[in-house]
Amino acid sequence: MSIENKLAEELRDAMRAKDAPRKNVIRAVQTEAARAKSASGFTGETDDAFYQSVIGSFVKKMDKSRREYDDLGERGEQMAAKLAFEVDYLARWLPRTLDEAASLELVKSAIADLGATDPKEAGRVVGHIMKSHQGEVDGALVNRLVRSELE
């Protein structure tokens, strides 16, 4: 079953169960997909790769917002929890990437291999990792880890 059909089926189930958080996140993804389809220059198909791309983009935005709400402490706790649910719920449709610990090991190895010591070399290290491990790592996570290691 395609991701599009699975989302539609899960939306019906969420509506029947009166599961508002699940219903809202599915509708948000469907809205993002509709925007992407109607964007000027879109010529592709709405296949699983399209939905993975849309979901991946949406998850990135929500995860960034979640981290910002986490930084607010108690004031942002409720919204951070909502966004964490959305990220976790949608993760099942995304390709698996390395976790933070495995990514950190990869970053340390790449820094050693390239002999990078200056924070100005972060772009070169991130580019090297992204080229050699495309699809295996989360670019935002790698970028954050590289910058942290080189500081």
CATH number of the domain where residue 124 is located: 1.10.10.410
- Rounded CA-CA distance 118/141 in Å is 19
For residue 84, the model assigns a pLDDT of 94
Closest CA to 138 of 67, 82, 35, 85: 67
**CB atoms closer than 10 angstroms to residue 124:** 14
> Could you tell me the pTM of the whole model?
0.70
**Based on the number of CB atoms within 10 Å of its own CB, is 17 exposed (0-12), middle (13-18) or buried (19 or more)?**
exposed
Q: How many domains does the chain have?
A: 2
Above 80 in pLDDT, residue 135? Answer: no
What is the rounded CA–CA span in Å between residue 55 and residue 52? Answer: 5
Quick: pLDDT tens for 78-127. Answer: 999 999 999 999 989 888 888 889 899 999 999 999 998 888 989 999 99
So what's the pLDDT on residue 139? 84
**Residue-wise over 37-46: b if at least 16 C-beta within 10 A, else e?**
eeeeeeeeeb
Residues 20 and 42 reside in one and the same domain: yes
Verify that 104 and 80 share a domain, yes or no: no
CA separation for the pair 23, 14 (Å, rounded)? 5
Give the pair of three-digit tokens for residue 6: 């699975």
Domain that holds residue 83: 3-93
Indicate the residue type of 74: E
Q: Is the pLDDT of residue 48 over 80?
A: yes
**Is 17 in the same domain as 60?**
yes
User: Is 21 in the same domain as 79?
Assistant: yes
Average pLDDT value for the chain? 91
Confidence of residue 41 (pLDDT cuts 50, 70, 90): confident
Instruction: Report the CATH number that the domain containing residue 76 is assigned in CATH.
Output: 1.10.1510
